[in-house]
Amino acid sequence: MPVSDGLKGTASAATGAPPPGLLAFYWHFVRQMKGWYGAMFAASLAVALLDTVIPLFIGRVVSLMEATDRMAALRGQWPLLAGMVGLVLLVRPLALLADIAIRHMALIPGATTLIRWQSHWHVVRQSWPFFQNDFAGRIANRVMQTAHALRESVMASIRAVWYIGAYGATAYALMAAADWRLGAPTLLWFCAYVLLLHHFVPRMRDLARASSEVRSLVMARIVDSYTNILTVKLFARLADEDAYVREAVDEHQDAMRRHMRAITQFHFCLTAMNATLLVSTAAVGLWLWAHGAVGAGVVGSALPLAWQLANVSGWVSWEVTGIFENVGVVQEGMQSIAVPHSGVDRPRARALEVSRGEIDFDNVSFAYGRAGSPLFRGLDLRILPGERVGLVGRSGAGKSTLVNLLLRFHEVEHGAIRIDGQDIGGVTQESLRAAIGMVTQDTSLLHRSIAGNIRYGRPSASDDEVEAAARKAQAHAFIAGLRDWKGNSGYAAHVGERGVKLSGGQRQRIALARVILKDAPILVLDEATSALDSEVELEIQEELLELMQGKTVIAIAHRLSTIARMDRLVVLDEGRIVESGTHDALLKLGGHYARLWRHQSGGFLADAPREILEAVRADAPLARAG
């Protein structure tokens, strides 16, 4: 089966979530390509067994050279000699070729891609708080590095550890078959080798894991500095950033130094053991030959076997070091990858069906964290189909949290939220969010083209539909004049990471165009025009009025003039609904909303356009001022 075929279908949850246990985590990925790993196992065994042929060939040649009638000896042994030549010249190269081909053409590209893709597939479906609680750079580094480390550690275990086990056992059997005393040094060396690994491997594993964790911290801090480079520049904090990153770099250096010290000690002990193996095998072999217990050919075979075993042990020691360094990387990566999803869909969750767009917050209670005091206690709010509701209140009153609960970025603790009578806790999150179009205050764009960002609202949209959405968002004019660093212009121009190539107002208009194109039945506007100048805001508000037709709308704005035209305003204070009504009614009430309105009309609204000032003076909704 081609490797590419083996990777088909990995974009599903059929394989299940990566388990938290180390061995289970390894087996989760290894079992999906166990056929290729099994083939590599067989190829490595064949290479190990064939490698014992060369010392036997040398020993046979030495024995032939002791013969009195040399030509007769050659004639008598030519079939055996020809077979050995065939093994060395043909069979062994083919076995090596199979081993190399399996590793380089199947496992390295195939296993790496499979592990990396499935890890990303699992991580990207984590809840929003998961990404809020960690560095994006560290998460990405773990996904990328874990795939390489897991594949390498499995391959090295098969290729190196299995190889030396098979080769060593065969070498010992051949020497002991001639005389048990000749195989004694190899047996003692094996025992010492196992004890050496038992002593050093756990230490190297723990040190490798510590080094990997600090390396991820270095990556995270560097990416954090690059991502927020504008803030670094604006506040002239290069020296502080240097110290912040250098602290992690120094920690990584110390961790690497401790790790390398253990590796150095391991290799020194192994070198001494290998020297002892060669000398003792030679001494025992010569002593047995001197006493006539074995022939010169046996000694001629034993010494190359011991020499090859010593050489292989050095290579295996490096591989073992790499194995446990990679195991440490895998353990560190599991902290992000082998994390169960939170806020998952319930079993048998169905797709949300929005026919009218009624939203009902029924006795909702919620708190951030188990120890936190509740933000909402028994909150009730019904939004009728097609109603436009504005949420008003001070910072921290619960406006954004209410929207996040509607989107199921957090789960309610008590009560329920229903859309058209359907409890959103029992529907799939994908269908729920597909039914809601949202423009956030902190607009972040994908590092793609303008067209790609707008089309994210509806991937099947045509170029004409994308342009029409941009025109409605008052974005077409500036898009036509864009040109990126690669020469792309207009809708093909790229916006940079998180849209840094655009101004805040331009980003917000692209985000509006994206939601306009999505055309969802429920619309959420969280400070949707906060980054726009007043002139553009007035133009866009007319487009928003058209966009709101036939939709259920929830709008959040600290600038009250932007939501004065809503059908109903809901005033929140410390997680409670303290007022509800139209703009005119709430002004007459003289409560929270009236105080906020008077504060803004006497403050920064003094510099607002004439239309808004007239609306404020008349205590009338902005819709009338237009």
User: Per-residue pLDDT tens for 337-394?
Assistant: 888 877 777 888 899 999 999 999 999 999 886 556 788 888 999 999 999 999 988 8
Q: CATH assignment of 383-435+520-626?
A: 3.40.50.300
Model confidence at 420, pLDDT cuts 50, 70, 90, reads: very high
Whole-number Å distance between alpha carbons of 75 and 97: 33
pLDDT at residue 4 in the model: 43
Same fold, 383-435+520-626 and 445-514: yes
Q: Facing residues of 445 across strands? A: 498
User: Per-residue pLDDT tens for 255-270?
Assistant: 888 888 888 888 788 8
User: Per-residue pLDDT tens for 423-474?
Assistant: 998 999 889 989 998 887 767 788 888 899 899 888 899 999 999 999 888 8
Nearest to 615 by CA among 505, 538, 555: 538
pLDDT at residue 415 in the model: 92
Query: Between 12 and 225, where is the model more confident?
Result: 225
**Structure tokens, 66:** 């002791």
pLDDT at residue 6 in the model: 43
Other C-beta atoms closer than 10 Å to the C-beta of 385 total 16
Look over the chain and give the mean of its residue pLDDT values, rounded to a whole number: 79
The fold adopted by the segment(s) 3-7+17-333 is ABC transporter transmembrane region fold (1.20.1560)
Residue 572 has pLDDT above 80, yes or no: yes
Q: What does the DSSP 8-state code read for residue 274?
A: H
Q: Facing residues of 365 across strands? A: 414
User: Per-residue pLDDT tens for 613-622?
Assistant: 454 444 443 3
Model confidence at 535, pLDDT cuts 50, 70, 90, reads: low
Task: Tell me whether strands 388-392 and 552-556 are parallel, antiparallel or unpaired.
Answer: parallel
Q: Where are the domains of the chain?
A: 3-7+17-333, 383-435+520-626, 445-514
For residue 50, how far is the Cα from the chain centroid?
Answer: 42
Nearest to 399 by CA among 508, 554, 553: 554
Query: Between 134 and 334, where is the model more confident?
Result: 334
Model confidence at 74, pLDDT cuts 50, 70, 90, reads: low
**Structure tokens, 452:** 């790609």
Q: pTM to 2 decimals?
A: 0.65
In words, the CATH class of domain 445-514 is alpha beta
Q: What does the DSSP 8-state code read for residue 591?
A: S
